[in-house]
Structure formats: C-alpha cells, structure tokens
C-alpha cells in the first residue's frame, strides 16, 4: 500500500506526475485556499504534506495528523511552520533554498528601477489619458548609476543583488548578522557597515533578510527616520520585516522619497495607506515568479518529500533533530 501525501495548493502537472510515481496524492488543482480545519481533515491519514508559505503548520494542526512524517515547504523561508512543534513530534521540515536566488535578485532590481524612475505612477497617468504633451520636468526620477546601495541581509540573494549593482557602478555596503569573508566581499564589491550607519548612508536600501522574531519590524519608524529624505526602500524579504504603518507615515510625509514592495504584513491584505500613496511601487509577492524558478522550487519540494518518506534523509532538512526523535 502506497503512502499518502497532501499537496495543499495547485502545482505544476509535472510535479504531481512525479509524486504519483511514489505515493497516493491528494491534490488541489482548483487552487482553493483551504482553511486550517480543512487541511487538518485532509491530513488525518497522510504521511507527508507539501505546503505553501501561506499554510500555517502548528501544534494544533499536527495533533490532527498522527501519521505525518514530513512537511515539505515550497519556499526558502519557513516562518509559517512551528519548527519546535514539528521537531517535538518527529516531523521533518524541508525548504527550497538556492533555486530562487537569481530570479529574486532580478526582481529586486525590477522594483528598484521601477521605483527610482516612477514607472508605475507614470504608466497609470498615461493609461488615464492624461498625457497630452511633453514636459521637461515630467515624472522626474532619480539616477541609479553611481548611487549608494545598502543591502540589509547578505545571504545568497543579497550577494546576487550586489553583483548586479556593479554594472550600475554603484558603491555597495551591507549589514549582516555576521561579516562575510574578505574574499567574498571583494568578489561582490561590497563593504561591511554597522546597521545605523548603513541607514544614514544609503541612497537605495534593499531588504533581504529572513523573517523571524528578531527581524520583526527590523525597519520601523526609528530606522526610517534615520534614512535620507531622498532614499528609496525596497523590500523583497518578508512582510513583517517592515512596520507598514510606519512606512506609510514616512511615505506620506516624504520622510523618505519612495518604496518598492513585494511583501507586506498580513498579506494578501494591505495597509490601506499603501494603496493611497503615489510614491510606492507594489507587487503581489512575485519575486521568484518565473515559470522555470517556480517549477524548480516545486520539484525540489517534491524531491524533498520523496527522500524524506523513502530514505528518511532529505537534502534540505531544516530540523535534523526530528530524525533522532
């Protein structure tokens, strides 16, 4: 008798076909956003589950899944999963690191450039039929080339962003929990700086940190007020890293020039002020959303699921202590 796995959201046909070679699969091709009660009911006799970053896996859910051995998250981050609760139950948790680095770094630059040059604001104006003549001072933006780029969080994605910045002849500084080795700093052309000094120095500040209790509201009112009034903030990290209410205040009062956001607190709900202000570029958490990258993420999650339920040693295991339990 095959083991049974649950896939909580719609994924690619290739992924389901791969899983069907190994398991009985409960899929969600309609991509319904199941609530916790529905997921709990479907997990009752499942050995594994493939989750998305919107699915909350906590002790209460685990209590309804006595057979569950692995949670395979289709994401690099796993703040939607209670790791301690999973470990206590002997449930393996896996993620999908590395595969989305380049696409997300590309998108950080898409947001930065669109914000600096006011692309979405200008397009909306054009679509409303308000463009009637050329003007010298029309939608004046700010130059990216030669500017100061600050990166908060210099992991894989941060380093990929820094490499791209060299093509714009930018001066690059970063802050991280730990300083990078000198040869890595030299390779990406970035210098280490203390966080407050970085905030005060940057013309553009890109956030690329994981979300955790320690990084919750890492950028709040105090930090925003340390930035230049001409600075632009770009967040591709996670919602909650920025205090959205404080950011709205900073944008409304022009305490900073503008922001480009792909992630939000309480997404998909937005702080209403973000929709109201014009000096922000908004995208719906699509930083890694190319077909090749999202397919690679889902296939990695599927391989993690298969490895966990066959060999017991998936490649991207977040909580190795669970295996001992």
Token pair, residue 277, equals 């202000």
pLDDT single digits (tens) 186-220:
999 999 999 999 999 999 999 999 998 899 999 99
Active site residue 238: yes
Active site residue 217: no
- Assign 1 a pLDDT band (cuts: 50, 70, 90): confident
**Which sequence spans correspond to the domains of the chain?**
4-97+291-324, 101-282
**Model's pTM, two decimal places?**
0.92
pLDDT single digits (tens) 135-176:
999 999 999 999 999 999 999 999 999 999 999 999 999 999
Mean pLDDT for the chain? 96
User: Can you give the three-state secondary structure of the chain, one letter per residue?
Assistant: CCCEEEECCCCCHHHHHHHHCCCEEECCCCCCCCCHHHHHHHHCCCCEEEECCCCCECHHHHCCCCCCCEEEECCCCCCCECHHHHHHCCCEEECCCCCCHHHHHHHHHHHHHHHHCCHHHHHHHHHCCCCCCCCCCCCCCCCCCCCEEEEECCCHHHHHHHHHHHHHCCEEEEECCCCCCHHHHHHHCEEECCHHHHHHHCCEEEECCCCCCCCCCCECHHHHCCCCCCCEEEECCCCCCECHHHHHHHHHCCCCCEEEECCCCCCCCCCHHHHHCCCEEECCCCCCCCHHHHHHHHHHHHHHHHHHHHCCCCCCECCCHHHHC
Structural fold of domain 101-282? Rossmann fold (3.40.50)
CATH architecture observed for domain 4-97+291-324: 3-Layer(aba) Sandwich (3.40)
Active-site residue, from 118, 173, 175, 238 = 238
Active-site residue, from 200, 249, 267, 321 = 267
- pLDDT at residue 325 greater than cutoff 70: no
- Assign 324 a pLDDT band (cuts: 50, 70, 90): confident
Token pair, residue 266, equals 């309480």
pLDDT single digits (tens) 115-135:
999 999 999 999 999 999 999
Give the pLDDT mean for 2-30: 97
Active-site residue, from 89, 164, 271, 285 = 285
Give the pLDDT mean for 209-233: 96
Active site residue 267: yes
């Amino acid at each position: 008798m095959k083991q049974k796995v649950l896939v909580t959201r719609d994924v690619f046909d290739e992924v389901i076909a791969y899983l069907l070679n190994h398991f009985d699969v409960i899929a969600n091709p309609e991509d319904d956003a199941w609530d916790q009660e529905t997921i709990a009911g479907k997990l009752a006799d499942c050995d594994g589950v493939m989750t998305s970053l919107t699915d909350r896996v906590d002790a209460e859910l685990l209590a309804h899944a006595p057979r569950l051995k692995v949670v395979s998250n289709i994401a690099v981050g796993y703040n939607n999963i209670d790791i301690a609760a999973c470990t206590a139950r002997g449930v393996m948790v896996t993620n999908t690191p590395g595969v989305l680095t380049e696409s997300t770094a590309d998108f950080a630059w898409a947001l930065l450039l669109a914000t600096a040059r006011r692309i979405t604001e200008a397009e909306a104006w054009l679509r409303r039929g308000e463009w009637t003549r050329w003007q010298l001072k029309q939608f004046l933006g700010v130059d990216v080339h030669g500017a100061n780029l600050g990166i908060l969080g210099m992991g894989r994605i941060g380093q990929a962003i820094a490499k791209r910045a060299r093509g714009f002849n930018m001066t690059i500084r970063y802050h991280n929990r730990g300083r990078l080795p000198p040869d890595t700093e030299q390779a990406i052309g970035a210098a280490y700086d203390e966080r407050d000094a970085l905030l005060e120095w940057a013309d553009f500040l890109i956030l690329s940190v994981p979300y955790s209790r320690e990084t919750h509201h890492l950028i709040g009112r105090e930090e925003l007020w340390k930035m230049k009034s001409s600075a632009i903030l770009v967040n591709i990290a996670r919602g909650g890293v920025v205090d959205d209410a404080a950011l709205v205040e900073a944008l409304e009062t022009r305490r900073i020039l503008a922001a480009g956001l792909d992630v939000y607190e309480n997404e998909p709900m937005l702080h209403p002020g973000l929709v109201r202000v014009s000096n922000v570029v908004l995208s719906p958490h699509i930083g890694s959303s190319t077909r090749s990258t999202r397919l690679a993420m889902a296939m990695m999650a599927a391989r993690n699921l298969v490895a966990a339920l066959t060999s017991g040693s998936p490649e991207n295991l977040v909580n190795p202590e669970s295996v001992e339990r």
